Amino acid sequence: MKQLPEKVGKPKILIPFRYNKGAEKQMFRNPKTNITEPYIFFTAEKVSVIVFALTEKNEVIAIDQYRHAADEIIRELPAGTPKSKEQSPDEAIREELLEETGYEAGTMELIREGMLFEPSTIKATYNVYVAQNCKKIAEPNPEETEYITEISLIPLQDWVSKELPRLIDSKSIVATVLALIHLRVFSSFHQHDAPQEPVQ
């Protein structure tokens, strides 16, 4: 078995958690050079959640949201994190969908746990959900730290053929592909054609 880098000591907190984000430094010994070097990781206190949500008309619920790092408005799927240690990811994603869009899920299903944002520099994971038969029951009520500029209902066919190729939010791309596979409609999209009947 090949030698792997070895942790040296405990991680040092560089930035304490705020809005579920932090940073730490961990020393590693390189087995090839025997040199010990620092690695900086972005961290998260709680697992994040994202949902591929469909209305009763088979429309994808998408949001446009300002993101500080990108310094631009990004089209995404609804997502977030539990608001407390007591709130489960399953509870959190239902709350996030309702708060960000005003839609309530008819059914909500966890389809993948422990997805990595970026395994070399980010020590954080997210869970992917599929919601179906979503109905609007309220007006959106995002948090003070969220800047959602638009909520769109996009037919599933258009989401796959037009929106997906333009998405730059990687977790929304991943969630879309996993959802299509889970719903068993992935292979139905051929040359940008999608089934017209609702997903069962």
Question: What's the pLDDT tens digit per position in 53-80?
Answer: 999 999 999 999 999 999 999 999 999 9
Question: Contact, 115 vs 174, CB < 8 A?
Answer: yes
Question: Contact, 152 vs 140, CB < 8 A?
Answer: no
More confident residue, 133 or 188: 133
Helix (H) or strand (E) holding 180: helix 170-182
Tokens of 39: 């690695």
Report, in angstroms and rounded to the nearest whole number, the Rg of the chain calculated over CA atoms.
19
**Does residue 1 register a pLDDT over 80?**
no
Q: Which residues contact residue 3 at a Cβ distance below 8 angstroms, ignoring those fewer than 6 apart?
A: 31, 32
pTM over 0.85: yes
Rounded Cα gap, residues 35 and 33, in angstroms: 5
**Does residue 105 register a pLDDT over 50?**
yes
Statement: 48-188 belongs to CATH 3.90.79.10: yes
Q: pLDDT exceeding 90 applies to what percent of the chain?
A: 88
Q: Which residues contact residue 159 at a Cβ distance below 8 angstroms, ignoring those fewer than 6 apart?
A: 60, 62, 176
Question: What is the pLDDT, as a whole number, of residue 20?
Answer: 86
The mean pLDDT of the chain is 93
Q: Name the 3-class secondary structure at 70.
A: coil
The backbone region for 192, taken as left when phi is positive above 0, alpha when psi lies in -120 to 50, beta otherwise, is left
pLDDT digits (tens, 9 = 90+) for 16-52: 998 889 999 999 999 999 999 999 999 999 999 999 9
